[in-house]
Amino acid sequence: MANLKAIRVRLSSVKSTRQITSAMKMVAAAKLRKAQDAIVQLRPYADKLNEIQAGLSAALRDTEIENIFAERKKGNGKVLLVVVTSNKGLCGAFNANVLRETRRIMSEKYGDLVKRGDLAVITVGKKANDSLRKLKCNIIADHSDLYSGLTFERVASLADRLMQFYVTKEYDRIEIVYNQFRNAAVQNLTDEVYLPVSMNVSGGTAAAPADYIYEPDQVSIVSELIPKTLRIKLYRALLDSFAAEHGARMTAMHQATDNATDLIRELTLQYNKARQASITNQLLEVVSGAEALNG
């Protein structure tokens, strides 16, 4: 029969663990709501921007647009990966998924580049930075501090840096690996090409915008809008990852709380059984002791 004291100690430790996980779940839920709000706030801007751009670029041919972010025929072939994880753990497979995908990309898709040292990494999130540094990846920058106040301005400056990398021909391709937010329980692991961009916006179902006045002119408006959409693209990816992180943490903590509850039930049962057994034992001893005296 298990030791009464040992069970009691274990029980109290599981109970306090449950308290922590359930508090974390509540905190994650509140943060998730905030993160989701930010995504919703971004939508009108992003949609309108896309609409204007789609309307304009449908009227123009791809070659007419001065797109310095278009695909290059000749280049050095260097690739930059932006790996987005969270700063904190305890969110299930959220970070592990991103890191596994990153390793897969580095060994399969860009195996040759890694050997030549032509693959660089920018990390967003301490978890990515810690784990990729251990793998001796070529990390050129870490932007984990973005999460303390995820505002558009700060993300935009990172986006501008990425665009700079591309325009100055330092890298020929930039990809982002991150978790896309579906709902609180589901994240879509995504490997997205950030640069180059094509101006051929799919569909091209623009409502004839013929009667607009354009200032300065269509071509320069489109060219000017490209960096704006790129900033939005990165901002959206980070907001998605941020919301997905809290969703994942909420789910993970919910599960942990459930497990702790089950464990507590089991341990309480064990404890009561053990207690009952020891009482029965003591009674037996008293009774048989009395009997021996009488006998």
Taking CB under 8 A as the rule, which mask of x and - marks residues 165-204 in contact with another protein? ----------------------------------------
Q: Is 208 among the residues that bind another protein (CB under 8 A)? A: no
119-124: strand order across its sheet: 139-142, 119-124, 79-84, 173-183, 186-195
What's the CA gap between 180 and 173, in Å, rounded?
Answer: 21
Q: Which listed residue (7, 35, 79, 91) is catalytic?
A: 91
Number of other residues whose CB lies within 10 A of the CB of residue 72: 14
CB of 179 to another protein, least distance (A): 20
In sequence order, what are the residues at sequence separation of 6 or more whose Cβ sits closer than 8 angstroms to the Cβ of residue 69?
A: 163, 166, 167, 195, 196, 197, 226, 227, 230
Instruction: Provide, rounded to whole angstroms, the least separation between the CB of residue 164 and another protein.
Output: 17
Q: Does 157 bind another protein (CB under 8 A)?
A: no
Asked whether the beta carbons of 137 and 113 are under 8 A apart, the reply is no
Q: Of residues 41, 138, 157, 188, which one binds another protein by CB under 8 A? A: 41
Q: Does 16 bind another protein (CB under 8 A)?
A: no
Q: Which range in 39-47, 59-67, 158-166, 251-259 contacts another protein by CB under 8 A?
A: 39-47
> Which C-beta is closer to another protein: that of 196 or that of 209?
209
* Residue among 118, 121, 130, 79 nearest 102 (CA): 121
Residue 143 C-beta: closest distance to another protein, Å = 18
Region binding another protein by CB under 8 A among candidate stretches 6-14, 45-53, 100-108, 113-121: 45-53
194 close to 177: Cβ distance less than 8 angstroms? no
Nearer to another protein, 151 or 198 (CB): 151
Site track for another protein across 211-230, x = CB under 8 A: xxxxxx---xx--xx--x--
- Between 4 and 150, whose beta carbon lies closer to another protein? 150
Q: How far apart are CA 11 and CA 274, in angstroms?
A: 13
| Catalytic-residue membership of 137 | no
| Residue-by-residue DSSP string for 197-210 | --S--SS------T
Determine the 3-state secondary structure of 67 from DSSP: coil
Give the residue numbers annotated as catalytic, written as ranges.
91
